[in-house]
Chains A and B, each alone.
Chain A
Amino acid sequence: MPGDEDGLRDFVTSRLPHLRRSAFLMCGDWELATELTRATMARVVADTRRGAVADPEVFAYSEMMEACRRRNRRREHVFVAAAGAEGVAAESILLLDALHKLAPRCRAVLVLRHWDGFELDAVGAMLDLDDERVAAYERAGLAALQKLLTESEAALTG
């Protein structure tokens, strides 16, 4: 893709919305997700132009997850609705809240596997983990999420 500006623009146009949604699931804030996605995609563009990127998709998600991980270290409050957004369903808030109680790496595995639909090896490449570790994070993440959601629902109904 180096030197192929049209291909690069097509890539950015097609991947940007997906990447921003993944970022939102990771950080819980649309404004921050937009900012991180823009910065990540800008790096993808700049580094692809100079031929430093082998697989733009892996590079983009890898950079994004690392950026979210760095940002989340400093964040306590997790969910911020978009400006002007209508009311968000209570179930969605509970899910986001549960998701953000998971460790960042565990959350990243769940987002990449269950939202973005990447295979184990691709997720491993993006997060620099071997397949076994990805599978272990996924199992643990799903179990923890299930438990958290059950507890939250019980609290709501109770």
Chain B
Amino acid sequence: MPLTRLLEHVLEGEPDLGDEVDAVFREAERLRRRRTRSLLAAGAAVVAAIAVTGYLLTTTLLPAREKAATPAAVATPAASAVPVPSDIADPVLALLAPAVRDKKMHIYPRPPERGSGWRQYSITDQDDKPRGTVEVAVYRLPEDLCFPVLAKPNKCARTEWAPAGVEYVRYDDDHDLDWQVHQTIARRISDGRTLALMATGERGTDNASTGKPGLTGAQIEKIGTDQRMFDAFGPDEDCVGAAATACPAFRMPVPQPAD
């Protein structure tokens, strides 16, 4: 007897199908929902993994690298009890760091590193030798500003214009080998926020080369007129008034309203 005929007998007593067709479609719907949930869960897991990785990288690796760049010879940063912010935590540092790193140097906050309306940083070269400081401050000066002239204190300088309505004057002074300075004062005319950015060379070297600032005058001009630098400070930060006493002393001071 052929196998097919034999198998027919085996299937005698087959139970009724009942509503199996509907059950199949209900099961298909459950399967679709399960797959959708799995897909969403997998997506959420990927997003969470990326977020955790990003968090770990930014909070662990970047500060660690900054810390590693801190030379043992420079006592002040090492002595600071204040956590060193990463580029991401400090938008001012984020704007300064690329230019410094392009020159194979390092930049990090210099205690007292920050206050309302101001920040200050130290620069070291690739041999961990100090290459001076960078100081920056913002001022709320809604009225017109008389940009000072280096050689003539009572005169107003002719301003240059940067994109997006920023007027500025650049000050470079390397006559004093012991205090070489590159500074820019810039003012955003839309809201009067004024910014002073200054790089100074390491003092006390008495040497034109080793006393040269870590950033050039052109770099200071470019960074100091960058809209992002104006926005890197909080809206209420201001070096005018009560907070002014803690603000850095610039080679070319920004005229205050009372001046």
Contacts and interface: CB of A to CB of B under 8 A. Distances in A.
B234 interface: no
A49 B14 CA distance: 30
A95 B12 CA distance: 13
A38 B31 CA distance: 12
Given A20-B17, A145-B3, A9 B10 contact: no
Contacts of B32: 46, 49
Contacts of B35: 46
Contacts of A9: 21, 25
Interface string A19-52: 0110011000010001001110111011001000
B23 A38 contact: yes
Interface in A5-21: 9, 12-13, 16-17, 20-21
A16 B17 contact: yes
Contacts of B2: 114
Interface residues of B, number: 24
A41 B24 contact: yes
Given A16-B17, A34-B15, A142-B3, A46 B9 contact: no
Contacts of A82: 13-15
Interface of B: 2-4, 6-7, 9-15, 17, 20-21, 23-25, 27-28, 30-32, 35
Interface class of chain A by DSSP: helix
Q: Which of B11, B17, B30 has the most CB of A within 10 A?
A: B11
B25 A17 contact: no
Contacts of B11: 21, 24-25
12 contacts: A9-B21, A16-B20, A20-B20, A25-B11, A38-B23, A43-B28, A46-B28, A46-B32, A85-B13, A89-B12, A92-B9, A95-B6
Q: Which of B9, B28, B32 has the most CB of A within 10 A?
A: B28
Contacts of B4: 114-115, 117
B7 to A, nearest CB: 5
A115 B4 CA distance: 5
B88 to A, nearest CB: 41
A96 interface: yes
Identify the 3 closest CB pairs spanning chains A and B, nearest first: A42-B27, A85-B13, A45-B28
Contacts, number: 86
Contacts of A111: 7
Contact of B21 (A13, A89, A91): A13
B28 to A, nearest CB: 4
Interface string A99-123: 0000000000011001101000000
Taking residues whose C-beta sits less than 8 angstroms from the other chain, chain A's interface range is 35 or more
A95 B10 contact: yes
A31 B26 CA distance: 18
A81 interface: yes
Given A38-B23, A91-B9, 13 more contacts: A12-B25, A16-B21, A24-B11, A24-B14, A25-B7, A30-B14, A45-B24, A82-B15, A85-B13, A95-B9, A95-B10, A114-B4, A142-B3
Contact of B20 (A38, A81, A95): A38
Q: Which of A49, A96, A115 has the most CB of B within 10 A?
A: A115
A55 interface: no
Contacts of A156: none
B27 A39 contact: yes
A91 B1 CA distance: 12
Contacts of B23: 38
A98 B35 CA distance: 39
A59 B15 CA distance: 25
